[in-house]
Amino acid sequence: MPAFFAKMTAIIGIIAAILIIFPGPVAEAGFFDRIGDIYNAPDKINEIERQYSEANEALAKQLEQTLQAVEDSEQKQQELVELNKRLIAQNESLQAEIERLQRQKELLKQKAVYTGVIAAVLIAAYIVSVRVWRYMAWRRHQNAGRRGISG
């Protein structure tokens, strides 16, 4: 491992020496370049102001679009709240209608049971009355048979 670090150190040293010996191009601004920059400064300022104005207009347009989107979403939310209220009222009325129909169905079932019970009682009473009538007729017939035709 120490040999590896020694080799790396040597390579880094050689690269540093090459960079020191052969420096890159130096930017030198002469007197005329500086004066030209001073005279071109208003053009650069105008360009920066134009970019600033464009950016400001873009931001204002974006702000306007965002505000419009917020207004639209608030209006949509209000519409949805109203729709929700109407649906809740409709749901309550439908629930009341369902309860009324269920009560009516129960009453109808109750009436059907009562009608069935009454019909069964009437049939039973008819059967009993027929039996009683037949018994009474039989008794009369037997009593008439004992007395004879003369009575």
pLDDT per residue, tens digit, the chain (151 aa), is 667 777 778 888 888 777 777 666 655 656 666 666 666 667 777 888 889 999 999 999 999 999 999 999 999 999 999 999 999 999 999 999 999 999 999 999 999 999 999 999 999 999 999 999 999 999 888 887 666 555 4
d(CA 96, CA 90): 10
Contacts of 130 (CB under 8 A, 6+ apart): none
Which sequence spans correspond to the domains of the chain?
31-147
